[in-house]
Chains A and B, each alone.
Chain A
Amino acid sequence: MLEASGMMVFYENMLALNNISMNCESDQIVGVFGANSAGKSTLMYALSGIILDIKKKELMAGGERITVAGDVLFDGKALTGVKPSKRAKMGIVLCPERRRIFKESTVLENLKIGGYLASPAKARDTLEFVFSVFPVLDKLKKRIGGFLSGGEQQMLAIGRALMAQPKILLLDEPLLGLSPLMQAMLIRSTRDIRDQKKISIIITEQYARPVLPIVDYAYVLENGSAVLEGTRNDLMDNPDVRAAYFGI
């Protein structure tokens, strides 16, 4: 469904992504694991096209020069140079790192903004779906986004991304700074979303243990390169991965 080949991203002369090729089939959950600065977020930006936006801004401000190379294919269509907004319309929706919810809007408004592009009927359906997956949000409808707890904000961010009717959902570190209980809950919801909505999900995380049970296929990034890849069981059995990313 979403296929990247030979992705290279340079921040000035620093290589952030080194020849990454990855593939996400439909209805799959693909995990991307790696430490800080491994290139997870850059990969997400590259897939969702946000990198083009950052590149333009840096160019305008005379900052560092970002070079993006490689191909991204979505349903067989090449995405090179396609704007992030267009990609979102096509169904590649990013739920960004550190949530980035609209802090001054209420929960309901946040969700509505996410569903701006969808038809009203679809938006209504998805809203109901979001509330069924995250019942907490239903209770907090009128609450201002900035006053939510970290976990609630994350749910809201995922909900907002869902409202944009994704075909493939990119979750960038959804478990950042959450309690183990909340992490387990979010992971369960992620699986539910995949099962019920039939969408593909790419999820990045530093610590693989909570995420690995639900992924079908996973990549391990290190300093911008994909050092390992495999199905869940392949990775589970790999002693290096067990040591590095599970702490077993």
Chain B
Amino acid sequence: MNVTTEQMRRERIDRGIKVRSDGLYALMSWRELSYLMTPRTILIVGMLCLPLLMPGAYWQRVMSIVCIYAFLAVGFDFLAHYVGLVSLGGAFFIGVGGYFSAILNTTFGLPPLVAIPMATIAGAVLSTILLLPCLPLRGVYFAIVTLMYPLFAARLIEAFDMLGGTDGIMGLDSFPNPMLEQYFIIGMLLMMLFAMRRLVNTDLGLVFRAVKDNDQAVRASAMNVTFYKALAVFIGSLMGCLAGACLAHIYMWSGISQFALDFSILPIAATVIGGSGTLVGPLIGCLILVPASELLRDFGTLRIAFYSLILVGFIVFRSDGIMSWGQRKYEQFERWKKI
């Protein structure tokens, strides 16, 4: 026989305040209330202060772009981690939303604040209908097909020279003023974010997660998997199309570069960095990645190399993402304990 060494293990325990504030009792004490409210308040107030804190119009514009990507990233996170549809078609949603808004604005003369919501809903409906045939696909196959959609749309527009062809649709109205633009986008983003967080905890969200887990079991429970998948795609593309419509009005232009691969890939990277399956994580990821890529612009093409390095580092060393890590630190503490 040999000696068994005294060993220690690190124990992870929920903080008392976390446990106390789980239930309704949280409403009875300011401490518990503030424990619950602090992270949310920081997020909301932080986001609302962002435009004011930015040094100039350039960085304010960057913040708008951050939010555009955040829409896509939250939508991607929702589709991938709550419904199991890994969609690489973010650019498709952007393009569809952008073109819809452009047409509504230039052809029908609707003001941006009317055109954007209409374009969002119309774009989401169109995206859902177009994606309907691919819904039986799962995993990597769905990813491949959705990746093809934006490329396909761009080539179609180019080949048939429709919707302004390669020039795109120009002369869109911009937002009435830059501050309104910022706050409209940030407000919509926060609203969407909290709505999503609520949605995934409802019964409908339960069905979505069940579809991800085991769609055969869902089918066996007499639920129409395709319908729920279509609904999820509609919700996901709603976010993407809203982002696209806003983007078109920010740039006062809508063209085939809105189907660019960037819009498909960057949100995924942001989701990985921020923490997949947390919904807030992707927003945080965008807040890091988009400004980082702006700052790295000075390095020219080396930018991509740095960018990849950051991404690889995160995947290797913190693959659970910033948000999951932060959440654990906030809710639990650790201590060494003798076995």
The answer to whether B339 and A62 have CB atoms under 8 Å apart is: no
Q: How distant is the Cα of A10 from the Cα of B324 in the complex, in angstroms?
A: 22
In the assembled complex, the CB of A40 is this many whole angstroms from the nearest CB of chain B, namely: 21
> Does B10 interact with chain A (Cβ within 8 Å)?
yes
B219 at the A/B interface (Cβ < 8 Å)? no
Instruction: Tell me if A69 and B339 are in contact (CB < 8 A).
Output: yes
Cα distance A116–B11 when bound, in Å? 40
Which of A5, A10, A12, A69 is B1 in contact with, Cβ under 8 Å? A5
Query: A105 on the interface (CB 8 Å rule)?
Result: no
Nearest chain B residue, comparing its CB with the CB of A76: B2
Q: A23 CA to B95 CA in the complex, in Å?
A: 66
Find chain B residues with CB under 8 A from A5 CB: 1-2, 4
State whether the Cβ of B297 lies closer than 8 Å to any Cβ in chain A: no
- State A61–B321 Cα separation when bound (angstroms): 9
Within 8 Å of chain A (Cβ to Cβ): is B320?
Answer: yes
CB distance from A72 to the nearest CB of B (A): 10
A52 CB → nearest B CB, Å: 15
A73 to B2, CA, bound (A): 9
Q: For the complex, is B129 an interface residue (Cβ under 8 Å from A)?
A: no
Verify B9–A69 contact, CB threshold 8 A: yes
Tell me which of B4, B13, B319, B328 contacts A70 (CB under 8 A): B4
With A and B bound together, what is the CA distance between A13 and B318 in angstroms? 22
Contact digits for A57-77, partner B, Cβ 8 Å, 1 yes 0 no: 000111101010111010000
Which residues of A from 1 to 26 have beta carbons under 8 Å from B?
5-6, 8, 10, 12-13
- CB neighbours (8 Å) of B324 from chain A are 62
Q: A8-B339, A67-B9 are in contact. Are A62 and B2 (CB under 8 A)?
A: no
CB-CB < 8 A to B12: which residues of A? 12-13, 65
Least CB distance, A20 to chain B, in whole angstroms = 12
Q: 8 Å CB contacts to B: which residues of A130-172?
A: none
Which residues of chain B (1-48) have a CB below 8 Å from chain A? 1-2, 4, 7, 9-13
Give min CB distance, A21 to chain B, whole Å: 9
| Any A CB within 8 A of the CB of B325 | yes
**Contact partners of A65 in chain B: CB under 8 A:** 10, 12
Which B residue's beta carbon lies closest to that of A10?
B9
Q: Is A13 touching B11 in the complex (CB atoms < 8 A)?
A: yes
Q: Which residues of A contact B13 (CB under 8 A)?
A: 13
- B296-339: which have CB < 8 Å to A? 318-321, 324-325, 328, 339
Q: How far is the CB of A66 from chain B (nearest CB, A)?
A: 10
Tell me if B9 and A78 are in contact (CB < 8 A).
no
Contact B1 A62 (CB under 8 A): no
Chain A positions within 8 Å of B2 at CB level: 5, 71, 73, 78
In the assembled complex, which residues on chain B have CB atoms less than 8 Å from the CB atom of A78? 2
Tell me the residues in window 203-239 of chain A with beta carbons closer than 8 Å to chain B beta carbons. Answer: none
Q: How far is A69 from B319 in the complex, measured between Cα atoms in Å?
A: 26
Question: B132 → chain A, closest Cβ, in Å?
Answer: 30
B residues 97-131 near A (Cβ < 8 Å) are none
Q: Which residue of chain A has the shortest Cβ distance to B334 in the bound complex?
A: A65
Whole-angstrom distance between the Cβ of A6 and the nearest chain B Cβ: 4
A62 touches B328 (CB 8 A): yes
**Which residues on the B side are within 8 Å of A71 (C-beta)?**
2, 4
**Contact (Cβ within 8 A) B320 A62:** yes
Given the complex of chains A and B, what is the CA–CA distance between A5 and B9 in angstroms? 18
| A71 shortest CB reach to chain B, Å | 6
Residue of A nearest to B315 (CB): A60
A residues 78-92 near B (Cβ < 8 Å) are: 78
CA distance A69 to B337 in the complex (A): 13
Partner of A62, one of B9, B10, B325: B325
Known A-B contacts A5-B1, A5-B4, A71-B4; A61 and B320 likewise in contact (beta carbons under 8 Å) = yes
Alpha-carbon distance between A62 and B12 when the two chains are bound, in angstroms? 13
State which residues 93-119 of A face B: CB under 8 Å. Answer: none
- Cα distance A13–B339 in the bound complex, in angstroms: 11
Q: How far is the CB of A209 from chain B (nearest CB, A)?
A: 32
Q: For the complex, give the distance between the alpha carbons of A60 and B319 in Å.
A: 6
- Most-contacted residue by chain B among A6, A61, A63, A70 (CB, 10 A): A6
Closest CB-CB distance, B314 to chain A, in whole Å?
A: 12
Measured CB to CB, the residues of B under 8 A from A are 1-2, 4, 7, 9-13, 318-321, 324-325, 328, 339
Instruction: Return 13 A-B CB contacts under 8 Å, by A number.
Output: A5-B2, A8-B339, A13-B11, A13-B12, A60-B319, A60-B320, A62-B318, A62-B325, A62-B328, A65-B10, A71-B2, A71-B4, A78-B2
Known: A5-B1, A13-B11, A62-B320. 17 other contacts (CB 8 A): A5-B2, A6-B4, A10-B9, A10-B339, A13-B13, A60-B319, A61-B320, A62-B318, A62-B321, A62-B328, A63-B320, A65-B12, A67-B9, A67-B339, A70-B4, A73-B2, A78-B2
Chain A interface residues (CB < 8 Å from chain B)? 5-6, 8, 10, 12-13, 60-63, 65, 67, 69-71, 73, 78
